[in-house]
Structure 1
Amino acid sequence: MLKVVAVIKAKPELTREEFLHFWNVEHPSYVRRLPGILRYRQNPAIEHRKPWPYSGMAELWFSSVADVKAAYAGPEARELFDHEHHFLESVEWFLAEEVDVPLADVPLPDAPSTAGE
């Protein structure tokens, strides 16, 4: 399995609330229409005292490169891109595979604590 990883910038004239409404509320219905999509995750940047270089990151999972090509070749992708023009200044993306890297000295979150024993 692989995924499209996209880092996005909101249009500067939009408030954070307007941007998040477009992205979190409206946009998922366009993404769901992509043929072959298996999973979708949004990662909005948190509010911070300084601006971040990106407004967020999206992840879209597919079974293969061929499925990605098919998803973005059809009318569903054109509708998705048309919607993005309402709220995104830029999108940069790449294809990636996830690799879980164990952290040797960090206990798993569900591991029982042995402190005080």
Structure 2
Amino acid sequence: MVKIVAIVKKKPGHTREEFLHHWNVEHPAYVRELPGIRRYRQNPAIAHRKEWPYDGMAELWFDSVKDVAVAYAGPEAEALFEHERLFLGSMEWFIADEVEIDLAVEARA
């Protein structure tokens, strides 16, 4: 399984609340329509006195890189992109493997 990792910034002029409404409430309906998607997770940056360089990160799981290409080649992706233009100022992404590290295992020297 592979996943898309996307780091996002809200559109300039949007409040945190506007951004989160578009992303957390509206956007999942568009993501659900992508063919072959297995899992979707949003990671909004916490409200903080410091201004973070990004407003959040999303993870989208697929069975293969080929499935990612198929998902983003169809009309479902066009609708998703159109919705993103309403609230995203920028997005950077990459496709990744996930490697889980067992923290219970002692480090070997």
2:86 aligned partner, one-letter code: H
Q: Distance in 2 between matches of 1:80 and 1:2?
A: 20
1:97 corresponds to: 97
Which range moves more in the overlay, 97-106 or 51-60? 97-106
Shift of 1:24: 0.2
Q: Distance in 2 between matches of 1:19 and 1:105?
A: 40
How is 1:8-87 mapped onto 2 (pairs within 5 angstroms)? 8-87=8-87
Percent of aligned pairs with the same amino acid: 70
Shift of 1:105: 7.3
**Structure 2: which 5+ runs fail to align?**
none
1:54 aligned partner, one-letter code: Y
**Residues 6-30 of structure 1: per-residue CA shift (max 9 Å, x gap):** 0000012111110000000000000
Shift of 1:50: 1.2
Q: Distance in 2 between matches of 1:19 and 1:41?
A: 16
Q: Distance in 2 between matches of 1:69 and 1:6?
A: 16
Say what the alpha-carbon RMSD is for the aligned residues: 1.2
1:109 corresponds to: none
1:24 aligned partner, one-letter code: N
Q: Decide which structure has the larger Cα Rg and report it.
A: 1
Shift of 1:97: 0.9
Shift of 1:104: 4.1
**Residues 24-61 of structure 1: per-residue CA shift (max 9 Å, x gap):** 00000000000000000000000110110000000000
Look up the SS of the partner of 1:48 in the other structure: coil
Q: Distance in 1 between matches of 2:103 and 2:64?
A: 29
**Residues 54-85 of structure 1: per-residue CA shift (max 9 Å, x gap):** 00000000000110000000000010000000
Q: Distance in 1 between matches of 2:52 and 2:46?
A: 9
User: What is the number of equivalent residue pairs in this alignment?
Assistant: 106
1:110 corresponds to: none
